[in-house]
């Protein structure tokens, strides 16, 4: 999806965003702030007219003179006060984020009060709060997480507010996807179509904010970078190192930390592990403050005995090397471009996992003592979760294949997973 294509889409009502807006209009006052015309000059909706289901019928297959999002306003929707109230509720919870957020509470509350809501963003956040409450709650968590990481990293009041704004907006591109393709669900499945839809949402969000709002360029850029990785393994642009902005690095770390906390029973220690487990994936300067906060939080509890852990680590160590060997053996002599891409990304990701495995000392189970069992279990589980995503990355990279090539890809993916489950 290039920029021109996405810009054109904003002049045609996106069905998913429109559905969310219409759902919100049942409980919120959403009205047209200007007359809505199609590209031929036909008036479809009058200024000050409340949004209703009839709008969906009138917008069907129409190209508009102005994006729909710029023609509507939520009169009693999400406000700065809403953000402050939601943040206070989050700070009051005894959750995994508490050790990081509470010491920064005064700065976070000041930052939330300083967040400016452009009318387009306010409209979409109102729709999210009404029809996708889980996504709205994640936006609030990301707002707080980004602000806390900025504060703990030495950021001033302006930098904290900027980080919080970016965190609040980071997933706004998901409003243009079917809800089932959202991040809250995609991590639990290897469904390639789901992931194919998901990987474009930072790009869509970046274009939306860049074209329809007046937020600063560093916030716009960071929204597009919040799934990138310093080692080039992120998406959607596969940026690396200095190609990723300072705010983008912070948002990427915050998003990865929050993703690690989706599993029930996880603690801030798991988030700390997620940022440290693969060397060079995230900025160490951001992982440090989170690790310090994690030590003040709930300790990790071991699930297995030392003997059980050592046996499992030995099996995984052999399985990781066997997967690498079987992957190389599964590549045909003259692979197509798509199959070669799948092999290359699989090899690269497996080698990155091997690097994390070695750096964590998991290659030597006998050196692990009883006091390390809980942390090593967290590292092991994080690596195992990363292993499960390699097949998805391989299939996405391959693209369209012939039947014979698809069979080769199936065999290649089996090599990736059989030894690691």
CA angle, corner 388, sides to 379 and 170, nearest 5?
Answer: 80
Task: Inform me whether the pLDDT recorded for 1 exceeds 50.
Answer: no
φ and ψ at residue 46, rounded to 5 degrees: -90, 150
Q: Which residue has tokens 């690690």?
A: 260
| 373 in Cβ contact with 306 (< 8 Å) | yes
Question: Mean pLDDT in the chain?
Answer: 90
User: pLDDT tens digits, residue range 137-184?
Assistant: 999 999 999 999 999 999 999 999 999 999 999 999 999 998 877 664
Identify the band that residue 223 occupies on the pLDDT scale cut at 50, 70 and 90. very high
Identify each DSSP E strand in 62-172 by its residue range: 72-74
Q: Residue 104: CB partners within 8 Å, gap ≥ 6? A: 147, 148, 151, 152
Average pLDDT over residues 229-251: 94
Q: Which residue has tokens 């602000």?
A: 147
Identify the band that residue 421 occupies on the pLDDT scale cut at 50, 70 and 90. low
Identify the band that residue 31 occupies on the pLDDT scale cut at 50, 70 and 90. very high
Flag the least confident range among 41-45, 224-228, 382-386: 382-386
Q: Where are the alpha helices (DSSP H) in 367-417?
A: 373-398, 403-417
Of 384 and 239, more confident: 239
What is the set of domains in the chain, with CATH numbers? 3-74 (no CATH), 106-116+127-296 (1.10.3210.10), 306-417 (no CATH)
Identify the band that residue 189 occupies on the pLDDT scale cut at 50, 70 and 90. low
| 69 in Cβ contact with 48 (< 8 Å) | no
The CA-atom distances, in angstroms, between 98 and each of 71, 87, 134, 148, 156 are 39, 12, 19, 11, 21
Average pLDDT over residues 236-252: 96
pLDDT at residue 361 in the model: 84
Whether the pTM exceeds 0.85: the reply is yes
Average pLDDT over residues 88-105: 96
Task: Inform me whether the pLDDT recorded for 5 exceeds 50.
Answer: no
pLDDT at residue 9 in the model: 63
Q: Which of 341, 337, 306, 324 is nearest to 387 (CA)?
A: 324
Task: Inform me whether the pLDDT recorded for 320 exceeds 90.
Answer: no
pLDDT at residue 416 in the model: 76
Burial (0-12, 13-18, 19+ Cβ within 10 Å), 287: buried
User: pLDDT tens digits, residue range 33-63?
Assistant: 999 999 999 999 999 999 999 999 999 889 9
pLDDT at residue 197 in the model: 80
The alpha-carbon radius of gyration of the chain (Å, integer) is 23
Q: Which residue has tokens 């297959």?
A: 61
Distance, CA of 197 to CA of 184 (rounded, Å): 13
Distance, CA of 43 to CA of 90 (rounded, Å): 44
| Residue-wise DSSP of 249-308 | HHHHHHHHHHHHT-STT--HHHHHHHHHSSTTSS-HHHHHHHHHHHHHSPPP---S-HHH
Distance, CA of 225 to CA of 197 (rounded, Å): 17
Is the bond into 236 cis (omega within 30 degrees of 0)?
A: yes
Share of the chain above pLDDT 90, in %: 62
């Amino acid at each position: 999806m290039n920029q021109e294509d996405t810009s054109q889409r904003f002049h045609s009502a996106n069905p998913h965003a429109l559905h969310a807006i219409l759902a919100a209009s049942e409980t919120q006052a959403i009205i047209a702030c200007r007359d809505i015309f199609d590209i031929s000059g036909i008036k479809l909706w009058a200024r000050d007219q409340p949004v209703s289901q009839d709008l969906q019928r009138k917008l069907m297959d129409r190209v508009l003179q102005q994006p729909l999002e710029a023609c509507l306003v939520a009169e009693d929707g999400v406000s700065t006060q809403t953000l402050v109230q939601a943040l206070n509720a989050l700070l009051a919870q005894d959750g995994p984020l508490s050790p990081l957020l509470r010491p920064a509470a005064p700065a976070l509350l000041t930052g939330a009060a300083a967040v400016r809501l452009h009318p387009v963003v306010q409209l979409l956040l109102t729709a999210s709060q009404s029809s996708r409450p889980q996504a709205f709650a994640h936006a609030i968590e990301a707002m707080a997480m980004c602000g806390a990481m900025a504060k703990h990293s030495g950021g001033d009041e302006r930098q904290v507010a900027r980080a919080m704004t970016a965190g609040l907006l980071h997933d706004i591109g998901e409003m243009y996807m079917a809800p089932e393709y959202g991040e809250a669900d995609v991590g639990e499945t290897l469904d390639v179509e789901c992931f194919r839809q998901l990987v474009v949402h930072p790009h869509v969000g970046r274009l939306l904010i860049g074209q329809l709002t007046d937020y600063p360029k560093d916030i716009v850029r960071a929204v597009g970078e919040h799934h990138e990785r310093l080692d080039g393994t992120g998406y959607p642009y596969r940026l690396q190192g200095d190609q990723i902005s300072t705010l983008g690095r912070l948002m990427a770390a915050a998003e990865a930390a929050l993703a690690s906390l989706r599993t029930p029973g996880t603690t801030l220690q798991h988030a700390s592990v997620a940022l440290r487990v693969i060397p060079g994936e995230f900025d160490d300067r951001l992982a440090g403050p989170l690790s310090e906060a994690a030590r003040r939080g709930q300790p990790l509890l071991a699930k297995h005995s030392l003997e059980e852990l050592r046996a499992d680590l030995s099996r995984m160590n052999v399985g990781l090397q066997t997967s690498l060997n079987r992957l190389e053996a599964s590549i045909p002599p003259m692979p197509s471009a798509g199959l070669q891409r799948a092999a290359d990304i699989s090899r690269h990701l497996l080698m990155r996992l091997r690097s994390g495995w070695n750096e964590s000392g998991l290659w030597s189970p006998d050196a692990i003592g009883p006091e390390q069992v809980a942390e090593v279990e967290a590292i092991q589980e994080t690596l195992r979760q990363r292993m499960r995503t390699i097949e998805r990355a391989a299939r996405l990279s391959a693209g369209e294949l012939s039947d014979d090539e698809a069979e080769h890809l199936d065999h290649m993916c089996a090599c990736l997973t059989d030894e690691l489950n």
